[in-house]
Amino acid sequence: MSLHTRRRRMAVQWPTLLWLTIVWVLLWGGLTPANVLAGLAIGLLVSMGLPLPPVATEGRLRPLRLAHLLAVFVKDVCVASVGVAVLAFRRRAPRSAVIRVRLRTTSDLYLTLTAELCSLVPGSLVVEAHRLTSTLYLHELDVDGERGIEHARRRVLDQEERVLRALASDAELAAAGLGGPGRTASTATSTGTSTATPPSTPSQEVTS
């Protein structure tokens, strides 16, 4: 590997370093100098010790859409935190489920971002991700029957849509079925849900 190639790979790692630092701060739940420095140190160690190949993307950053993505994410975290706290004081045990959601995009970057954002919301955890099929398996807390399962699926697809509209290019949006001017969120969600399970295979949900 040439010196130019090594420098280029190091430059590609800076977005990864920034993202790992943000995730670290979010996991610790406090924006403090110690958390930021620890996140930078761990992110630098991971990105230099285990360098990842660059992810091919034609993304286009849209600041307003990104602000909307972050605002909705913060709201979801706050609402879910209150919901989980309320569950702790209920006498009946919450009914949980593992659901399967087929995403619209085939990009590793957007699949990872969607999975991370979903897992950071209390009560929802990605337990498995399939790259080849762009499918996420999530454990959802306090799911109320089929209606609750469908609501959880819709929430994941809405999260993916916000990620795509904030970071994806026009071509990637069109490939995901979100590029049409008359395309609504509900229509896109319905499409993503219907492709979650092949027609010949019945939908299976594991509840407990």
Question: 133 pLDDT exceeds 90?
Answer: yes
What's the pLDDT score for residue 125?
Answer: 93
> Tokens 């979010």 — which residue?
26
- pLDDT tens, residue by residue, 148-194: 899 999 999 999 999 999 999 888 899 888 874 345 444 433 334 43
Return the pLDDT at 52: 66
Contacts of 79 (CB under 8 A, 6+ apart): none
Lowest mean pLDDT among 48-57, 95-104, 184-193, 195-204: 195-204
Each residue's pLDDT tens digit, 14-57: 777 888 889 899 888 888 899 999 988 988 888 777 776 666 66
Q: Which residues contact 35 (CB under 8 A, 6 or more apart)?
A: 24, 25, 28
Tell whether the model's pLDDT for residue 130 goes beyond 80.
yes
**Token digits for 165?**
């509209």
Q: Which two tokens stand for residue 76?
A: 């979801």
Cα gap 179→191, rounded to integer Å: 14
pTM above 0.75, yes or no: no
Whole-number average pLDDT of the chain? 80
Determine the Cα–Cα distance for residues 163 and 61; give it in Å rounded to an integer: 10
pLDDT above 90: residue 129:
yes
pLDDT of residue 195: 36
Report the chain's terminal Cα–Cα distance, integer Å.
Answer: 51
What are the extents of the domains in the chain? 1-54, 74-207
pLDDT at site 186? 40
For residues 73-81, give the mean pLDDT.
Answer: 94
- Enter the DSSP assignment of 56: P
